[in-house]
Structure 1
Amino acid sequence: MLSEIENIFARLGFYSLLLGLVVGIGILIPTIGISPIWMISAFVIGFVFLISSYGIFRLQISSTESREDILWCILLSPIVLYIPLNLILMYVGLVQQPRLQDFGAYYNGAVRFLNGAPLYQTTQEIPSIQAEISGDMPYLYPPIFILLFVPFTVLPATAAGLVWDILVLVFLVWSVSKLVSTFTVNITDSSRVLLYLSVISFAPTITWIKAGQVSGLLTGLLCLSGAALRTKRDGQSGMLTTLGSAIKPFYATSGAHLLRSRKRLFSSLWTGLFVLLFGLLIFGLESHVEYLNILIGGKGWESTTLEPNKWNAGHFNPFFLLGSLKHLPRIILVFITIGLALHSNESKIPIEYIFALGVAIVPIAGPTTNTLALSTAIPAIVMVGFYEMENDGDFPKLLIVSALLIHIHPYTIEFVSKFGPRIYPEIERITPIIPLLQPALYGMALLIGYIISQSWENASGVSLVGWIRRGF
């Protein structure tokens, strides 16, 4: 079976490279008018098929241990190759260059703070201050966190954004390494490198890098919270969880594990109180009232719902088809999480599952409709995957499938809604079903479903999947 797949992939790779060569010759003839994207696409597809064919060949001739390593490489290669793919698509103009627009809003807010201007106005509303980027975007977080961006104002906005991205990316990888280090598992250096490359190349990571967003910082804080939880440092775990939720309130579901421990819960409450009082001391009441008004207004979340043919790589709208009922599954999911967290005090549900579930539902239960929050899948997958690897000796492949589905989401949506119809107009016919073609919808459902299933099995000793099968 594997031998047949190897031969098929080898042939497809050869034919794709041959097609790319023919198209390349056609590009040299101006009268034909062939776009270079076809040649690049053919070569990329050809190399992917050939690499896959070689990987399957190595898989057949290798020992059992080596086969496992090769299988992991094959599974994770789409994630690792995402950065080169991005560079190619940006080069040919199919994907926008990084604009650092969100970091620009933070940077401009810091400049306004230093100049004594209103924090929650846009810079373009203040004639005395000029903005390099994002002058029309407001700052939307609590006043105290603007201090985080003040040091970056010594640099020009774009350079500061690049430094921000690098620092946050290093912090995220370090945080993942700290979480992994809490598990007693044998993991080779090459596997560690592959894991960290996968984190860096993960599509939601690339999304926040392009925007200069804080999502990577919040994901890192959640990883550190998980590491503190694993090492019984409950106070630190509660504090780190709250810092993320203080910046983005809809991350509050990540605190499901707080319901399992009074120490974590009280640490969380004290951290929130300290952030509020420290902010009031520095910024006063007026700025906090302005921020409260922004929260009441919903920060613009879901204020305008774009039709699917207007979506791009940054859109993730899991409940679009439910219309006005879209909040119902969110509420149900939150109550399921709370119920499991409270029930876990009297059951055998490992705290790792409760932590992972609270973190995993952030992008589903929250009101945002973008891919930024999908970064929380990283601590959820790492926590559950390595916990089961520590206890059962194997990392669940279903979690990798979940990660791959989340990973391919941005450009799948971008293709079917934007540049796909430009290349082949017939693709527009599938516009009505684009909400059903969201890979991250199924990736997150698989991740959350797996965590709930494992929690149920640990609590009752009954496999949820087997129970459902018997019911039917």
Structure 2
Amino acid sequence: MSLLRRLWARRRERPALVAVAALLAVSLAAYPVVDWWLRATFEFASDFRFGDFGAYAGAVDRWQEGEPLYRRTDDGGFWGTYLYPPVVVLLFWPFEALLAFRDGAMAWLLATGVFLWTGLQALVAALGYDLRWYERLGLALLVAGFHPVVLTAKLGQTALFMGGLLAFAGAALVRDGRSRRPTDGPTDADLWDRPLALLAGAATAVVGVVKFACAPVGAHLLHDRRRLVGAVLVVPPVVWLSIRFFGVDAHQTYLDVLRWGVSQGSDGARSPTLWLAPYYKPLAWLPANATLGTAQAFRVAASAAIAGLAVLAPPRARRTAFALGVAAFPLLTPQTYTYYFVALLPAAVVLLAVEIERDGSPELVLLGVLLLHVHAYGLRFLVVTVPNAVPAFEALRPVYLLLQPGLWGNAVLVGLAAVRVVQATDLSTDLLPVGNTSAAGAADGD
């Protein structure tokens, strides 16, 4: 059955689900027009300037001219310059070397956008849903209307590429799970007999290579030995390519970039009233601590808990373990931005399928995505527009950071995934209402 038909069939028994789905679909479909109106009317709405792609293109130019890959700013940092590992330059090379700047940026966005769209289709198909041609077209339109996707396009960022990799990793993981009994455990004999598990691990590892901040997405690698092997196998060829083309000196400088990035991530958050579209500070509301920052302590504890759940969860929890790690990374990485939410789309698709199959709470998944979608301008409305219209609202300034819509959307997805993983490990009773599990859900166990 197609995804739309399955959703429409629930209109009487789950009217709230259909209502939230319709609200989300309308807001996504309408946003490109809204963005055009905002850019034409207000100065705070940014245009398509591809600033981040310019940093990538500059690194390609410096590499081709034999100059140092990383460029320090006057204050000794690297702000506004190329910040990725040396080997990632090869990813941008064809778009910069063969095309003019704007053409290269547009080609990069088209290629990575199609990659994300194709990956999401592969994930939906792996989950057992048939997409009609009009649903595939509709998916493209809805993805293109997701605000973090539009923001990524304006900056020329890498989020579409990483979201596509995670979608394909999720598709491989789900298909690998469908080819095995849910009680199958790891054995050395079948280590090389499951190429899809190796592929899921390899795709996840590439995400971490492109951006180390995405490390939490690898939680599902701890859940299955084959996926972990697939991730490890990526390392030797990547290291060889990186040293072969960029030498040792570039990698030594990259260590300085990482140290600088960690220090930037530990700085205090600027006030949300000094709004920028990429602004997302999920843990900045936590109180400061003189020794180990409270936010950093939370990151460490939450990361350890997620890793523990991934290790303890049975094979049947493969889907929710994947969704948990992916959904958690914008919440836990030290320096995070609104466009990181693009990577949460595969996690949302997986969680939505799980909740529909078990007659759980799919409304929460859709609500979470809606909050991610309205995060940037919703925050601006709450901390800039409303106080200007209602001065008494200024009394809430101390809790402005708790008003971030993306924080609540992110937390909903992480919390729901964590609950389902815990339930699968039999460590607790049901924390959310669960009805009859369908045959498809029983096969995979989440």
When the two structures are superposed, what TM-score results if normalisation uses the length of structure 2? 0.81
Q: Percent of aligned pairs with the same residue?
A: 29
In the alignment, what sits opposite 2:33? 84
Q: Deviations over 1:62-111 (max 9, x none)?
A: 98899987763334211221111111000102412122111110011101
Change (3 A) 1:82 1:266: same
Work out which of the residue numbers 122, 125, 142 in structure 2 matches 1:198.
142
Aligned runs of 1:454-465 on 2, under 5 Å? 454-460=420-426, 462-465=429-432
Aligned runs of 1:14-413 on 2, under 5 Å? 72-93=21-42, 94-121=44-71, 137-153=80-96, 154-186=98-130, 189-232=133-176, 233-298=196-261, 300-303=264-267, 305-322=269-286, 323=288, 324-344=293-313, 347=314, 349-389=316-356, 391-392=357-358, 396-413=362-379
Shift of 1:418: 4.5
Which one has more relative contact order, counting CA pairs under 8 Å at least 6 apart? 2
Q: Measure, in 1, the Cα distance between the counterparts of 2:242 and 2:159.
A: 21
In the alignment, what sits opposite 2:183? none
Shift of 1:411: 0.2
- Paired amino acid for 1:397: E
Q: Measure, in 2, the Cα distance between the counterparts of 1:99 and 1:427.
A: 34
Q: Measure, in 2, the Cα distance between the counterparts of 1:449 and 1:74.
A: 22
Larger radius of gyration: 1
**What runs of 5+ residues in structure 1 fail to find an aligned partner?**
1-58, 126-134, 468-472
Q: Measure, in 2, the Cα distance between the counterparts of 1:84 and 1:349.
A: 42
- Paired amino acid for 1:253: P
Q: Quick check: 427-436 or 94-103, which moved more?
A: 427-436
Structure 2 contact 372–410 (Cα < 8 Å) conserved: yes
- Paired amino acid for 2:93: V
- Paired amino acid for 2:27: P
Structure 1 contact 100–210 (Cα < 8 Å) conserved: yes
Shift of 1:311: 2.8
Shift of 1:155: 2.5
Work out which of the residue numbers 403, 412, 434 in structure 1 matches 2:400.
434
- Paired amino acid for 2:170: G
Shift of 1:156: 2.6
Structure 1 contact 456–464 (Cα < 8 Å) conserved: no
Q: Measure, in 2, the Cα distance between the counterparts of 1:196 and 1:209.
A: 14
Give the CA RMSD over aligned residues. Answer: 2.9
Change (3 A) 1:456 1:293: same
Structure 2 contact 360–433 (Cα < 8 Å) conserved: no
Classify the secondary structure of the residue corresponding to 1:210: helix
Q: Deviations over 1:196-229 (max 9, x none)?
A: 3222211211121111101111111011111111
Q: Deviations over 1:286-335 (max 9, x none)?
A: 01101111112226334463122213221111111213311122122211
Q: Measure, in 2, the Cα distance between the counterparts of 1:395 and 1:187.
A: 22
Change (3 A) 1:71 1:332: closer
Q: Measure, in 2, the Cα distance between the counterparts of 1:449 and 1:65.
A: 22
Q: Which has the higher helix share?
A: 1
- Paired amino acid for 1:385: L
Q: Measure, in 2, the Cα distance between the counterparts of 1:358 and 1:321.
A: 22
Q: Measure, in 2, the Cα distance between the counterparts of 1:433 and 1:147.
A: 44
Shift of 1:417: 3.9
When the two structures are superposed, what TM-score results if normalisation uses the length of structure 1? 0.77
Structure 2 contact 285–399 (Cα < 8 Å) conserved: no
